[in-house]
Amino acid sequence: MEKEDIKKLVGDDYVEDMTLEDALVVVAKQKEDAKLAKDEATRLVDKYKSSNDKISSENAEYKKQNRATLTEAQQRDAEYKARIDALEANSKALIKDKEIQTNKNRFLTLGMDDTLASETANAFVENNTDVVFKNIAALKDNIINQVKSDALKNTKRPPIANPDGDDPKGITIDKFKKMSITERTNLYKTNKEAYDILKKQDN
């Protein structure tokens, strides 16, 4: 994986000569820190909600009984609060969607396809580290396999000599007979088809 890709993955926590494995450890630490902060915020929200629920419960019956006596201004205030609550809920959803998209773009730059990047980004935001690590490991394997495949495609193979052995650009039977064991082994590895043809002619 390229240095710049690792930088994009870990952000400001990047250090020189960081490997992919190091980056994954940093990402896990980032998520753990974020989870601790989120847990503390959740605890405070729950505490506030518990207190607020008690007050709301005590006032619910009173509001019900006195609804008819509310002034027009009070009704507007109640409607305004309801709209504010709805906006806050929508805002939280938008923030989550933006976080998912931001992380998806990061995973796309690492070479993931759209589907895998989306799945990984959602798991990242949901703190599902098992899925994140599994998908990154799969990406790493795909990159290694692609590099190997490209290397094989770019390997030049010597042309196959024709049965008459008169191809000046190929490996003729005479050239094959004069080859050392090392040269024949190399031919077998790089162009087995030519090796098999010449081997039969040599018998």
In this predicted model, what pLDDT tens digit does every residue of 1-24 receive, in sequence order? 566 776 777 777 777 777 767 777
Per the model's pLDDT, the better-predicted residue between 21 and 125 turns out to be 125
CA–CA gap between residue 4 and residue 14 (Å, rounded): 10
Is a pLDDT exceeding 50 seen at residue 166? no
Per the model's pLDDT, the better-predicted residue between 56 and 89 turns out to be 89
Say which residue the tokens 């896990």 belong to: 28
| pLDDT score of 65 | 64
| pLDDT score of 59 | 65
Burial class (CB in 10 A: 0-12, 13-18, 19+), 165: middle
CA atoms within 13 A on the CB side of 40: 5
Question: How many C-beta atoms surround the C-beta of residue 197 within 10 A?
Answer: 19
Question: What would the pLDDT profile of 41-69 be if each residue is shown by its tens digit?
Answer: 666 666 766 666 666 676 666 666 666 56
* 1, 107, 190 from 5: Cα distances, Å: 7, 9, 34
| pLDDT score of 160 | 52
Is a pLDDT exceeding 80 seen at residue 159? no
- CB pairs under 8 A, 24+ apart, for 163-169? 163/197, 163/201, 165/201
Per the model's pLDDT, the better-predicted residue between 115 and 201 turns out to be 115
Enter the tokens of residue 177: 């007979």
Q: What is the H or E stretch that residue 131 is in?
A: helix 129-153
| pLDDT score of 84 | 84
CA–CA gap between residue 189 and residue 157 (Å, rounded): 10
Average pLDDT over residues 93-103: 86
- For the chain, the structural domain boundaries read 3-153, 157-203
CA–CA gap between residue 27 and residue 137 (Å, rounded): 14
CB distance 188 to 154 below 8 Å? no
Average pLDDT over residues 36-44: 64
